[in-house]
Copies of this chain bind each other. A is one copy, B any other.
């Protein structure tokens, strides 16, 4: 059930940065990450971006493209690391990863007019979260 993510041993920098993102309740931006890990000896933007690139590549984190921010993957049944779906609250900016078998099947099987299938996708839904709807 949880071996869907092939195990990668993270390097020191990758682990430091993953831990930080994983603990964060909201997506983190690169320079905010940098600021937070400077006490641990990571001094330069490139060190952060390299770790982020790798973590995205192996599916431990996802990038929220519309926000230039990174969030830990909480979708252990995700079969294709690069097929992602999120909901984003336009008021409080809360971001939630969507794990819907129906949705992922629908999108994985979607064909365009030419019959082409696209294995990877990134879907971002925008609207109001429950809390903000009630306000």
In the complex, A76 has a CB within 8 A of chain B:
no
Q: What B residues does A103 contact at CB under 8 A? A: 110
Q: How far is the CA of A123 from the CA of B106 in the complex (A)?
A: 13
Contact with B along A12-30 (1 / 0, CB 8 A): 0000000000000000000
Q: Which of A1-9, A40-48, A126-134 contacts B (4 or more CB under 8 A)?
A: A126-134
The A interface, classified by DSSP as helix, strand, loop or mixed, is mixed
- 0/1 string, A53-72, CB within 8 A of B gives 1: 00000000000011000000
Contact of B121 with A116 in the complex, beta carbons under 8 Å: no
A100: chain B residues at CB < 8 Å are: 110, 112-113
Contact of A125 among B96, B121, B126, B133 (CB under 8 A): B121
